[in-house]
Amino acid sequence: MSVSIEQVIDGARQKGEDVRSSNVTACVALANIVKTSFGPTGLDKMLVDEIGDVTITNDGATILSKLEVEHPAAKVLVELAHLQDKEVGDGTTSVVLLAAELLKRGNALVKKKIHPTSIISGYRVAMREACSYVKERCSIPINELGNESLVQCAKTSIASKIIGSESDYFSNMVVNALKRVARKNDKGKVKYPIGAINILKATGKSSRDSLLVEGFALNCVRASEGMPKQLNKVKIALLDFNLERTKLPNGVVFDITDPEQTHQLHKREDDILKERVELIIKSGANVILTTKGIDDLATKYMVESGVIGVRRVSKSDLKYIARATGGTVLLTLANLEGGESFDPSTLGEAESISQEPLADQELIIIKGTKNNATASIILRGANSLMLEEMERSVHDSLCAVKRVLESREVVPGGGAVETALSMHLETFAESLGTREMLAVVEFANALLAIPKILVVNAAYDATDLIAKLCTLHHAGQTNPEKKHYSRFGLDLHNGKVRNSVEAGVLEPTMSKIKSIRFATEAAITILRIDDHIQLNPKPEPQHPGHDH
């Protein structure tokens, strides 16, 4: 007597080809959403959430994070885009498109009776070969190209964004900002922390009026006009609590018989605040930054002492200022003895702090921080939607240049790497005598999807341009005299092929290698699934007498 799965578990089961096709269809549908936003001529998406907030972007990771994806396999692609964004910062759309293409071609092989294990094994072989080929044959040390390659890398990243028309201006700003925050870690390696660059947005003027400021800029002002506008050789107290009158907790009751006692109670509340402020100032602090409020009484004491107080600083900004100035963020003044004290060693140090005007608002700028150099990029634009997209664009560009500065290697862009890999893997597949060869050939064909989508989005004939590009790359790999052809990519503005390195279209080597690895691993994860069991939700237990 056979027993069905429905009799064993409380749920439904889908298996074999049905579940694989369902997963692949969901992933391809998700990739089709971001497909038209890919490349320098890609279009933007308008996303509206349940409360009506609008986001306009062509950044793959942002689009996918805003979509409420229900399908479990499609969620893998959303996580893939998030991982690429976290690890590299750029190339989020291409990694999703490549994963979807690998899935589509892998599923087609399964339908031709090729076992999924053979396909997975072939994909892994192709991935390893592709990554080693990029490192050995496609990668160019930036020492050969000079520092101009950094600006060109930033331009390539910005070209597909809303500020693409101002790529010259923003690419120089990005490179200068990153060079300013360079620092050596414990192992002696130079690192470029993007967190040291604060990006602020101010509505008004054009994007060309955006500027780079030396120092860490805060979108805050002094708590009082009576405080000094500028101080030098500052010691900064970093607080994560408010400096306001102490209020009695709810439920605390005083039995007062004499009106004088009420006056003494309020006076003691004031005195506690005064003692706290004096404690901080006596430690040597002449700047107080807090994430919470500073009331009028505390402000009065600060003005009298010539101290700058700034309230409502964001926690993330305060934490970075603590790292940069060598200070410590304090949650309370309480000590182990039950009293209150302030340790001067928790103070951060900087050369100067000042409040400076910008358009119709003012900013606090901290310069010459003790530990790490800092920089701020202040973006200008017509409205908040444009400014948010500009911020995402600048962040992606910062990430791309950071990877180039740390790895010191670039590859030609414009579909050059994908085409070169496709040609090489087709030749490599012929050397394999197993069924894995079929998967390697499909991997090679899947890589060509990237330049094809670029051409289609630029409104040109994909068949003609891709054929020209493949011919040049094949010649570059087989004829030593034509080796320079392996650097040719697409010119999407004129509908031609050109030398991407000479045209200044460069991308970080790490971005390409990681996107190939991540896309392959995501495709393998989904292809391995041959069973989908959906459990039924358990009914809520009914409690008698509680049906209100």
CATH superfamily of 216-372: GroEL (3.50.7.10)
Amino acid symbol at 320: Y
Tell me the whole-structure pTM to 2 decimals.
0.81
pLDDT at residue number 127: 92
CB atoms within 10 A of CB 212: 16
Q: Between 164 and 9, name the one with better pLDDT.
A: 164
Among 3-12, 96-105, 259-268, 323-332, which is the least confidently predicted range?
3-12
Active site residue 92: yes
Q: Between 247 and 489, name the one with better pLDDT.
A: 489
Give helix 416-430 / helix 449-457 axis angle, nearest 10°.
150
Q: What is the per-residue DSSP string for 192-214?
A: --GGGEEEEEEESS-GGG-EEEE
pLDDT at residue number 23: 84
pLDDT digits (tens, 9 = 90+) for 192-221: 888 888 888 888 888 888 888 888 888 888
pLDDT at residue number 535: 74
Given a cut of 90, whether residue 238 has pLDDT beyond it is: yes
Q: Between 378 and 530, name the one with better pLDDT.
A: 378
pLDDT at residue number 242: 87
Mean pLDDT of 491-500: 87
Q: Which of 55, 93, 374, 509 is catalytic?
A: 93
pLDDT digits (tens, 9 = 90+) for 513-523: 988 998 999 89
Q: Which of 41, 55, 57, 59 is catalytic?
A: 59
Residues 6+ apart with CB under 8 A from 50: none
pLDDT band at residue 323 using 50, 70 and 90 as cut-offs: confident
Active site residue 396: yes
pLDDT band at residue 307 using 50, 70 and 90 as cut-offs: very high
Active site residue 270: no
Any idea where the domains of the chain sit in the sequence? 216-372
pLDDT at residue number 290: 92
pLDDT at residue number 3: 52
Q: Which of 374, 396, 491, 509 is catalytic?
A: 396
Mean pLDDT of all residues belonging to the chain: 85
pLDDT at residue number 160: 81
Q: What is the per-residue DSSP string for 428-471?
A: HHHT--STHHHHHHHHHHHHTHHHHHHHHHTTS-HHHHHHHHHH
pLDDT digits (tens, 9 = 90+) for 335-385: 888 888 888 899 999 999 999 887 677 889 898 888 778 888 889 888 888
